[in-house]
Amino acid sequence: MANTLLMPKATAVWLVDNTALTFDQIAAFCTLHPLEVQGIADGDVAGGIMGVNPIQNGQLTREEISKAEADPGYRMHLADRKVIVGEAKRRGPRYTPISRRNERPNAIKWLVRNHPELKDAQIIRLVGTTKSTIDAVREGTHWNNANLTMADPVTLGLCSQIDLDAEVKRANKGRSDEEAPIEGTRLMSAEEALASAARGADAYAQVYESDAPAEKKHTDDDEIDADSVFASLKSLKRNEDDDE
């Protein structure tokens, strides 16, 4: 989150009353017009607004004010925040750009077909739609149903692959194997694809080892009986002589 001045008008009121800064300096620091700052000084603007000390809230230092008072051409800068406050979590449906709003029914149709385990609330979070639109697409009563074509919401830019994988994982959490959707009716997440590839590699290695020829499984430590080899050769020679 950008470092911005809190309550600019209230800060301007305090700077006008408690410093020797010029109107231009105060206007630049508080992002106001110089005439607006002059109106604050004359009492025509910001009437009833109580001044806020920017030094106390950590947005300005006394040294910065002193430097600006000594040089009318100097422009003050906000002090670095010592505490970073995280942004509030967004609530409500996801915002969808106007140029992509017509694609939402296509994305809903894709989600309903490929991820039937998703709840309506999850689809709403992913593509920023309404429950009535989801019901209309699911039941085939959408006003533009004849022209709807399934489209991946990630490809359309309505949501990220990470968000989609998270919602699918949340929907499948706690479900038994019988309740889980049959593999092939939906796209696997990145984690599932990697796990499936690893299982396939292990299975191939096991089959290869079991089907390997017996003579390839000998080790260098195997011993050869020389007497048995010579006896076999003599027997073979006798059989050849008898045949002649």
pLDDT tens, residue by residue, 120-139 = 999 999 988 899 999 999 99
Residue 242 lies in a domain: no
Indicate if 160 and 116 belong to the same structural domain: yes
Of 11, 16, 19, 15, the C-alpha closest to 43 is 16
Indicate if 52 and 158 belong to the same structural domain: no
The band of 110, judged by pLDDT with boundaries at 50, 70 and 90, is very high
Q: What range defines the domain where residue 172 resides?
A: 89-208
Indicate if 62 and 164 belong to the same structural domain: no
What's the domain count of the chain?
2
The answer to whether residues 61 and 68 touch, using CB atoms and an 8 Å cutoff, is no
pLDDT mean across residues, the chain: 77
Choose between 157 and 190: higher pLDDT: 157
Residue 20 lies in a domain: yes
Average pLDDT estimate for 72-85: 78
Choose between 4 and 89: higher pLDDT: 4
Q: Which two tokens stand for residue 72?
A: 């009318």
Q: Which range has the worst mean pLDDT, 147-151, 162-166, 209-213?
A: 209-213
Indicate if 99 and 182 belong to the same structural domain: yes
Indicate if 65 and 94 belong to the same structural domain: no
Residue 81 lies in a domain: no
Residue 2 lies in a domain: no
Residue 77 lies in a domain: no
pTM over 0.75: no
Indicate if 66 and 167 belong to the same structural domain: no
Residue 240 lies in a domain: no
Helical packing angle, 34-42 and 23-30, nearest 10°? 110
* Domain edge (last residue) among 41, 70, 99: 70
- Whole-angstrom CA distances from 160 to 94, 134, 167, 171 are 12, 20, 11, 17
The answer to whether residues 58 and 79 touch, using CB atoms and an 8 Å cutoff, is yes
Q: Which range has the worst mean pLDDT, 48-52, 221-225, 239-243?
A: 221-225
How many angstroms separate the CA atoms of 68 and 62, rounded? 10
Residue 98 lies in a domain: yes
Indicate if 32 and 93 belong to the same structural domain: no
Indicate if 93 and 202 belong to the same structural domain: yes
Residue 147 lies in a domain: yes
2 burial via Cβ count (<10 Å: 0-12, 13-18, 19+)? exposed
Indicate if 133 and 36 belong to the same structural domain: no
So what's the pLDDT on residue 119?
92
The band of 2, judged by pLDDT with boundaries at 50, 70 and 90, is low
Indicate if 45 and 138 belong to the same structural domain: no
pLDDT at 87 over 70: no
Indicate if 173 and 115 belong to the same structural domain: yes
